[in-house]
């Protein structure tokens, strides 16, 4: 957890919503100099903070509509701090809760140096990252439809398996294998939707690769030097990490990627684990997928997994290898070197 500790003459806490924003401005002594609910329009916000622009810091909680406020502050040369929503428990800890109270508490946390920070993703690559996330969402929806067809075949106990219907060439006369007209029509609808998804995904992937070669071709090539990391996993890692320099230590990076289990300790005793859901779920998925794909046809890596599985179990063996891969990616990007399979497999063996 990182706190914003810089000192300013004025501190602005914003309880941000889609159509309105409650703004509270404190001076260096902690006195309220402005406290007002205004529309979410740049001109309204700039008009309110105009008398306090000199050495001002603005803070808002991380939620779905913070982009425009961060961009506005960057354009106007105003310090902007994004509060980590899961860590900002002080906002919800009071007996009463409303927008006016929340904006004041954000300003107080900012002034006191106790505002937990989230990462303000730079504007340059942010929209492409969101497009990539949308692509992955569509890919999951396509997979759900394929699973629905397979489940329907099981439901009606078809005499022969459907095969690898994820490949268009394997589908053939798939609807005709269902005797009931309504079921056949349902499968036809699923297939038509799948084909539409495939058309969208094909175009999106080509466009994303083109954007990535403009944004950061060197790091993309380094990531794709990992066996099993192809076009999509390389893009996910590239855009979700953005800049490896934002992680001072490899432990910080592993924690952000959800590759470690944080423990709860007090008075020398351990009380289990917590915080497993704090971090980047997209990177957690990417590293888990990369480890599975790395093992295909890779006998040295398979031997390492077998050794780890005999000691810890299969699930933990994959988790250990994912953590190891995360550490490798950190040093690859930090030192600008490609993946070294021999060194990777030597670690911890």
For residue range 243-289, what is the model confidence (pLDDT) as tens digits? 999 999 999 999 999 998 877 777 677 766 666 778 999 999 999 99
291 contacts: CB under 8 Å, gap ≥ 6: 228, 318, 321, 322, 325
Contact by Cβ (8 Å): 12, 56? yes
Q: Is the pLDDT of residue 79 over 60?
A: yes
Lowest-pLDDT range, 69-73, 133-137, 282-286, 308-312? Answer: 308-312
- Closest listed residue to residue 80, CA positions, set 110, 109, 37: 110
- Measured CA to CA, the distance from residue 30 to residue 321 in angstroms comes to 49
- Measured CA to CA, the distance from residue 197 to residue 82 in angstroms comes to 35
Q: Is the pLDDT of residue 348 over 60?
A: no
Q: How many residues does the chain have?
A: 349
Q: Beta partners for 265?
A: 270
Q: How many CB atoms lie within 10 A of CB 75?
A: 10
Q: How many CA atoms lie within 13 A of 48 on its CB side?
A: 23
Q: What is the mean pLDDT of residues 121-134?
A: 97
**pLDDT band, very low/low/confident/very high, at 347 (cuts 50, 70, 90):** low
- Report the chain's mean pLDDT, rounded to a whole number: 92
For 195-244, the pLDDT digits (tens) are 999 999 999 999 999 999 999 999 999 999 999 999 999 999 999 999 99
- Measured CA to CA, the distance from residue 9 to residue 296 in angstroms comes to 58
Q: Is the pLDDT of residue 349 over 60?
A: no
pLDDT at 318: 94
**pLDDT band, very low/low/confident/very high, at 160 (cuts 50, 70, 90):** confident
Lowest-pLDDT range, 101-110, 160-169, 239-248, 270-279? Answer: 270-279
Contact by Cβ (8 Å): 331, 222? no
pLDDT at 92: 64
User: Regarding beta strands 56-61 and 32-39, do their DSSP bridges make them parallel or antiparallel, or are they unpaired?
Assistant: unpaired
- Measured CA to CA, the distance from residue 108 to residue 90 in angstroms comes to 10
């Amino acid at each position: 957890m990182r706190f914003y500790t810089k000192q300013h003459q004025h501190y602005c806490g914003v309880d941000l919503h889609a159509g309105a924003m409650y703004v509270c401005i404190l001076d260096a002594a902690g006195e309220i100099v402005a406290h007002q609910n205004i529309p979410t329009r740049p001109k309204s916000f700039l008009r309110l903070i105009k008398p306090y622009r000199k050495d001002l810091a603005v803070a808002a909680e991380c939620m779905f509509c913070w982009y425009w406020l961060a961009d506005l502050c960057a354009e106007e040369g105003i310090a902007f701090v994004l509060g980590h929503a899961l860590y900002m428990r002080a906002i919800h800890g009071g007996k009463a809760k409303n927008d006016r109270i929340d904006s004041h508490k954000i300003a107080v946390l900012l002034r006191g140096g106790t505002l937990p920070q989230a990462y303000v993703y730079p504007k340059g690559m942010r929209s492409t990252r969101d497009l990539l996330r949308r692509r992955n969402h569509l890919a999951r929806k396509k997979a759900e439809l394929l699973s629905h067809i397979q489940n329907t075949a099981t439901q009606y106990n078809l005499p022969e398996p459907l095969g690898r219907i994820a490949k268009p060439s394997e589908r053939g006369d798939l609807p005709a294998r269902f005797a009931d007209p309504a079921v056949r029509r349902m499968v036809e609808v699923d297939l038509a939707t799948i084909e539409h998804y495939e058309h969208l995904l094909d175009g999106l992937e080509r466009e994303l690769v083109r954007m990535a070669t403009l944004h950061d071709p060197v790091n993309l090539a380094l990531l794709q030097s990992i066996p099993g990391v192809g076009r999509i996993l390389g893009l996910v890692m590239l855009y979700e990490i953005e800049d490896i320099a934002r992680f001072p230590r490899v432990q910080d990076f592993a924690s952000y990627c959800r590759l470690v289990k944080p423990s709860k300790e007090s008075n020398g005793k351990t009380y289990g684990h917590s915080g497993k859901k704090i971090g980047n779920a997209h990177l957690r998925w990417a590293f888990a997928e990369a480890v599975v794909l790395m093992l295909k046809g890779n006998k040295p890596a398979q031997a390492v997994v077998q050794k780890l599985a005999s000691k810890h179990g299969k699930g933990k063996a994959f988790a250990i290898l994912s953590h190891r891969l995360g550490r490798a990616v950190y040093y690859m990007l930090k030192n600008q070197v490609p993946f070294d399979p021999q060194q990777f497999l030597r670690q911890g063996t």
